[in-house]
Amino acid sequence: MLSAALFVSVNASCGDALFQDIRYTLDDNRLTAEVTLNPRATGEVFIPEKITAGQNQYIVTAIADKAFKGCKGLTAIVLPKTLERVYRSAFEGTGIMLNKANWAEGCLWIDSILIATDKTIKPRFVVPEGTRLIAAGAFQGNKSLQRVELPSSLSRIDHETFRDCKNLQKIVIPATITSIGEDAFTGCGIYQNEKKWKKGALIIDDCLVATNNELPAKYIFKNKIPIRLIAERAFAERKSLKSVVIPNTISIIPTAAFYQCENLTEVVIPETVREVGNFAFYKCELLKSATLPKDLERLGMGVFYGCINLREQVLSDRIEVLEQGAFYSCRGIKHLALPAKLRRIDNGVFAGCSGLEEMNIPASVNFIGDVAFAGCAAIRELTIPERVNSLPRQLCQGCTHLYRVNLPEGLYAIGDEAFDGCIALDKINIPKSTFRIGVRAFRNCQQLRQIDLVPHIHVIEEGAFANCKMLEEITLPEPLKEISNYAFFHCTSLREIIVPDSVKTIGEEAFAECRALRRASFPVTIQKIGAGAFRDCSNMRAPAFPAEVEIGKNAFKGTKP
């Protein structure tokens, strides 16, 4: 089964690390780190620019929502210059925020970062030049604020920064601002002023920050002064929108810009666009046309997730990473050429692309993520590049027309359920370097007739070849120590099995319902045969074992007496 929440809730490229008593979340793709929940932080805390975890160094780029919330004993913190995002909520209830001595003219500053404001702030406030960040939500709900001028030292207005500032009527946004976060101005005085809205759009200093239900079906930017940026989620869930022409003054289509625009059928993207952000066209199910620029540098996570009618796409050769779920369930795509310099195909990038007929993976690819091609029912052949040394879980699960897979010589592991349900797969060569075949890796490969296991495999995992109905013979390697539960369950064509001397355990139902099995040879070193291990092997005669061998319940039920 493919999960619709494949990557929304879990990013498998991320992990946690504890560095100098501070907990971080790591992104192995971008080699960045975010300070996460640290509810017991006290005293003075130092956050470095880089941390080391395993063999990698990670740049610290963010302080997470509520990271230090409620840490009354936290009295001081040093923040790195590498930060790109900080949340006001990260310091709520901390000793830093509760100490009035840390406030000046209604503002709480930490290392040139404006963290929070209160009602004593000046109604007309000029953010000092040199301010490098304003925390998400820093001004939120501030009723004193009427006018604000931002410095050229800023590049981003984060989400909810001015939300519900009900008396804010004027803001000066410098040309250095390149992105505006979700709901940055929602509920503020400007947002509530109907005169500020034109044809369903709110534009502040040439920045389109929000739209409403008055947006026309076909939206073309026609401002006298060109729009220079679009805010995150600016068009999200606008049911009226059917077509949009993005102006050539735009270089970034931001995160969730057209999120769930369910009637959007066409987007004209100019050649000036260099980045399409995460979830930009998420579940735009009627979208058919969205031609990507030839010099596009980044295609974000889940950018076309659920765009089931999207047609052929051409990807820029500048793209080196296809991020998680980028084309998830794009059933209308039949052909897609991958960039020659591509390095990574992350989790679920093409999962559910049931119309995709071929996939040529460039030799430059060194990583393929979980569920990358799961549900690509039309793909017939797949060659894994030499640089990939491990196949992820559910790589090709449910690829029902896949009949040939070419594996690289240096492959050391085949992940859980990697080829589960590949009912047309009839042959596969396991490289000599392979030491693990995962749980249910070849389950339901009903045309698989022969497979040779290599000497490095010590365990046949649970259900690895279950229901391989055409499997007639298999050679078990000498170092093998265990045949796990359901390993060859319902392999109805399997005729003979010679268990090597190295095997000590045969798991539950391991060969159950192998009705063609006539002969099974067991070593004298066998110690345990699990419950139902050879149940209903009706052509096999149950052997005799020494008393010290543990025989599970119904291990040979249904065999010849």
Residues 517-540 have pLDDT tens digits of 999 999 998 999 999 999 999 999
**Cα separation, 493 vs 74, whole angstroms:** 67
Q: What amino acid is encoded at 334 in this protein?
A: K
Say whether both 465 and 548 belong to one domain: yes
Q: Read off φ and ψ for residue 113, nearest 5 degrees.
A: -115, 125
Residue 502's Cβ-side half-sphere holds a number of Cα atoms within 13 Å equal to: 14
Pairing status of strand 275-276 against strand 252-253:
parallel
User: What does each C-alpha distance from 420 to 12, 354, 404, 482 come to in angstroms?
Assistant: 20, 16, 14, 21
What phi and psi, each to the nearest 5 degrees, are found at residue 98? -75, -20
Residues 182 and 89 in one domain: no
- Residue 46's CB is within 10 A of a number of other CB atoms, namely 11
pLDDT tens digits, residue range 376-416?
999 999 999 999 999 999 999 999 999 999 999 999 999 99
Structure tokens at 319: 């793209």
Tokens of 151: 């410095």
Positive or negative: CA dihedral 181, 186, 188, 190: positive
Residue 211 resides in a domain = no
- Type and span of the H or E element at 483: strand 482-483
Q: Give the per-residue pLDDT at 212.
A: 95
Question: Is residue 477 domain-shared with residue 534, that is, in the same domain?
Answer: yes
- Tokens representing 402 are 């896949």
Domain identity same for 147 and 117? yes
Residues 112 and 93 in one domain: no
Question: How far, in Å, are 162, 201, 203, 227 from residue 224 at the CA level?
Answer: 26, 14, 12, 9
CA 86 to chain CA mean position, Å: 22
- Residue 423, Cα to own-chain centre: how many angstroms? 27
User: How does DSSP assign 337-350, residue by residue?
Assistant: EPPTT--EE-TTSS
Q: Which amino acid is residue 276, in one-letter code?
A: V
Which 3 state secondary structure label does DSSP give 96? helix
Residue 7, token pair as written in the block: 């990557």
Residue 400 belongs to a domain: no
Q: Quote the tokens at residue 193.
A: 């002023």
Beta strands in 205-256 (DSSP E): 207-211, 218-220, 229-230, 243-245, 252-253
Same domain, 511 and 547: yes
- 239 domain residue, yes or no: no
* Phi, psi for 135 (deg, rounded to 5): -65, 145
Rounded-to-integer distance, Cα 147 and Cα 125, Å: 6
- Mark whether 461 and 474 lie in a shared domain: yes
Domain range for residue 167? 102-192
Q: Rounded CA gap, 496 and 326, in Å?
A: 46
Shared domain for 560 and 453, answered yes or no, is yes
The DSSP line for 393-405 is TTTTTT-TT--EE
Residues 191/164, Cβ–Cβ less than 8 Å: no
Q: How far apart are CA 221 and CA 218, in angstroms?
A: 10
Q: Which of 98, 126, 157 is the last residue of a domain?
A: 98
> Does residue 27 sit within a domain?
yes
CA 328 vs CA 161, 414, 449, 465: distances in Å: 32, 22, 32, 28
Answer for the pair 126, 176: CB distance below 8 angstroms, yes or no: no
Residue with tokens 């007929």: 357
Same domain for 478 and 551, yes or no, is yes
First to last CA, the chain: 40
Domain total in the chain = 3
pLDDT by 10-residue block (mean), the chain, 561 residues = 37 73 90 95 96 94 96 96 97 96 96 96 96 97 97 97 98 96 97 94 95 93 85 96 95 98 96 97 96 95 97 92 96 94 96 96 96 97 97 97 95 97 94 95 94 90 97 89 97 94 96 95 93 96 92 95 82
- The reply to whether 69 falls in a domain is yes
Could you give the residue ranges of the DSSP H alpha helices within 88-224? 95-98, 189-192
Secondary-structure percent of the chain, ordered helix, strand, coil, rounded to 5: 5, 25, 70
Q: Give 8-16's long-range contacts (Cβ < 8 A, gap of 24+).
A: 8/302, 8/325, 11/301, 11/324, 11/347, 12/324, 12/347, 12/369, 12/370, 13/324, 13/346, 13/347, 13/369, 15/53
Look at strands 22-27 and 32-35 and give their pairing.
antiparallel
Nearest to 300 by CA among 34, 11, 56: 11
Q: Is residue 111 located within the same domain as residue 165?
A: yes
42 and 74 inside one domain: yes
Would you say residue 476 lies in a domain? yes
Q: Kindly state whether residue 525 falls inside one of the protein's structural domains.
A: yes
Q: Strand, coil or helix: what is 54?
A: coil
Helix, coil or strand: residue 189: helix
And the tokens for 379? 């793909």
CA dihedral 534→536→540→543, nearest 10 degrees, is: 50
- Compute how many other C-beta atoms are within 10 angstroms of the C-beta atom of residue 560: 11
* Residue 380 in domain: no
Boundary (domain end) residue, out of 192, 208, 229: 192
Give, in degrees to the nearest 5, the angle at Cα 118 between 116 and 120.
Answer: 135
CA-based radius of gyration for the chain: 29
Does one domain contain both 77 and 118?
Answer: no
190 in helix, strand or coil? Answer: helix
**Dihedral (CA of 486, 487, 490, 495) sign:** negative
- Select from 192, 217, 245 the last residue of a domain: 192
Cβ contacts of 202 within 8 Å, gap of 6 or more: 185, 190, 191, 196, 208, 209, 210, 211, 212
| Residue 66, domain CATH | 3.80.10.10
Backbone angles phi, psi at 157, to 5 degrees: -105, 115
